[in-house]
Structure 1
Amino acid sequence: MRRDVFNAIADPTRRSILMSLTSESQNVNALAEKFDMTRQAVSLHVKYLQECGVISIQKAGRERYCNLEIQKLHEVSDWLEPFRKLWEDRFDRMDSVLEKLKNQAKK
């Protein structure tokens, strides 16, 4: 099965793991402490994220540290860009309507 960045962010636990890694690399034990599930379950999520390419694993002695691969997440940002522009245009139009209504109320 081909896994990509969209598979990675499809699950709330995996999204939470990614958010936890935004500030610093963490080992699997530290990540597991944040969730109400077994360490093994968190390890499976970590493995899945690694297969999707959004995290890398670096071994240091007996520990495995998870590092966020932010460039891979740019795929999501790139995919969302047309939608972002669409909503910005809609908000701009709404601002114009609200400004007209505000001016009419002053008169």
Structure 2
Amino acid sequence: MRSVSKEQIYSVVAAIPEGRVASFGAIASAAGLPGRARWVGQVLSQLPPDSSIPWHRVVGHDGRVTCPQTQLAISRLTSEGIELVNTKINMKRYGWP
């Protein structure tokens, strides 16, 4: 079951378009795992930095970049045209879906 859930998470995260972000909670809900936002974070934290899954596009509900590799995530997000103010993203502007 857990591997199926991980695959669901990876699938939803892979669908986030370049230049957009989604919250951990939105990913959990879209993957059919409502209320499991923290688990989404745990699953994504286990991915290697060079993973093809765009883990850097998943942020806190308030738009904060909260991953362990904050600087790498910020670098990737800004290269996609996302503007940040103090590691925070405007979810109304860049949020997905």
Which TM class, normalised by the smaller chain length? 0.3 to 0.5
The two structures have a TM-score, normalised by structure 2, of 0.37
Structure number having the greater strand percentage: 1
Which one has the largest radius of gyration?
Answer: 1
